Amino acid sequence: MTERVIKDIVLENFANAKILYQEGIPFYNVASSTLKEACVEYQINHTSLEKKLVTQSEIDYPCQSTPIKDILHFLTTSHRIFIKQSLPYYASLIENLSVSQFENKHIVKDLQFIFPVFVEDFIHHVIEEEKTLFHYIETLIGVKDSQTPLSKAYMLMQKKNIASFALDHLHDDPLEGIRKLTNTYAFSKNASMHEKVIMYELKQFDKDLELHAQIEDRLLFSKALVLEQNLKQSIEITTSLN
């Protein structure tokens, strides 16, 4: 693989572009170089990089049998990956894009303007979700595990509940504007390597967010609702005894 050209490696599997970038090789600047030449230029261990390009790990997603604590951990970890790895990568791709590299040239400036706004809104959404919904569920879990006083959960449940959080969650579609701008991430076979990678990554990110939302809706909320109902029953029993 070391004698293969970077462009060919990327076009063979767009996910390779992200690996190259994360390892310190801006693939869009060395598209015509071989992997070996790029590794020499950026002082990268080509043996280690080659292994990562060949072996790409699968994500172990939660399922119905996954404990709620582990589901919450998975979602929180996903947030960190989105913010610290994925979004900076997408931002760099878009920032380093020139008009000449895009077939639909009018999209470039719009994309470079709208994406930083999206990132800011997305980070705000994540922080707010963790501060409210995740904190609420963590409190319920703490009571269940006898690590948090029941009274603390009772105070929170007077202000919010899982049903209200779930209702707020129905309205989220963070990538709607970018999806419309890019015609659902469409590109032609004649598009540049850079454009293809951007559209591929944005489409994958959209899928990741959709799956993320499904895990919240179908797993986290349903399990949290059962947990909340059980704690309400415990509170009612405790109150009746007093």
pLDDT of residue 237: 75
pLDDT of residue 55: 80
pLDDT of residue 119: 96
- In the predicted model, residues of the chain with pLDDT beneath 70 are 57, 171, 238-242
pLDDT of residue 104: 77
pLDDT of residue 182: 93
First to last CA, the chain: 73
Q: How far is CA 163 from CA 86, 113, 134, 148, 186, in A?
A: 31, 36, 14, 22, 37
Q: Report residue 106 as tokens.
A: 């009018």
pLDDT of residue 242: 56
Q: Are 72 and 134 in contact (CB under 8 A)?
A: yes
Quick one: 70 exposed, middle or buried, by C-beta within 10 A (0-12, 13-18, 19+)? exposed
Query: Which pTM was predicted?
Result: 0.88
